[in-house]
Amino acid sequence: MTGRILLGLAAAVLLAFLVAPGWFAPVFQPFTRNNAPAIYVQTPIWSLTLSHLALVAVAVAASTVVALVLAILVTRPAGREFLPLARTITSVGQTFPPVAVLALAVPIMGFGAGPTLVALFLYGLLPVFENTLAGLTAQPAQVSEAARGMGLTPRQRLWQVDLPLALPVILGGMRLTAVISLGTATIGSTVAARTLGEVIIAGLLSSNTAFVLQGGLVVGIIAVLIHEGFQALERRARARIGQA
């Protein structure tokens, strides 16, 4: 109960800050120096927040679809031999720094959201892939036998049994991908993508700690809200399949 109250308060404070950031100027003023502005006004923070969230949503959706397809393919009898290849592909994003992806993508795609989407997409593949793989391969043997006994085809077992049972674990992978992508997206502002990283970078360049705090706190609060939202979905999914 206390956790929900705190989450509600955090969400309310975040909304108030995005709607009327000027109200919070006295809070951030102690973190400025030389009469620097306490609130970032170069671009509306609410606009940057929406752009940031849209970028993350597109990247997470793309990562989830590709990772799900790969995991399903390598858990089918005809695709099991491709599991090592699929693991290598999905691991690339985690082993290749997002900054390096941006550096390679900018000459090809130009500045803007494109290179950031590529970096976030690659970075988000592994959690969803591994969680989906774990969920699909950890099915109780008796459940699979019961599905076969009912005469379900492999496709019917996948959609009616395997994926519903694996859904809580899949949602856990999506949660990790979303939270990681939310924080990583801030570097997109280094290649002219509209993200909350613009506020943080402006603060670093001007030695204005207030700007850095604003960008960081908005990202942090949203990350907590997304994390808790996915956990609520996981609990609901577990309840639907009879898991504690």
Predicted confidence at residue 141, as pLDDT, reads 67
Predicted confidence at residue 105, as pLDDT, reads 83
Q: Hey, which CATH number is domain 34-241, 3.40.50.11540, 2.60.40.1250, 1.10.3720.10, 2.60.110.10?
A: 1.10.3720.10
Predicted confidence at residue 163, as pLDDT, reads 84
Tokens describing residue 208:
């204005």
Domain ranges of the chain: 34-241
pLDDT tens per residue across all 244 residues of the chain:
677 888 889 889 999 999 999 899 999 999 888 888 899 989 899 999 999 999 999 999 999 999 999 999 998 887 788 888 888 888 887 787 778 788 888 888 888 888 999 999 998 999 999 999 988 887 766 766 776 767 677 777 878 778 888 899 999 999 999 999 999 999 888 888 899 999 999 999 988 999 999 999 999 999 999 999 999 999 998 888 777 6
Predicted confidence at residue 242, as pLDDT, reads 73
pTM of the model: 0.89
Asked if residue 37 lies in contact with residue 10, where contact means CB atoms within 8 angstroms, the answer is no
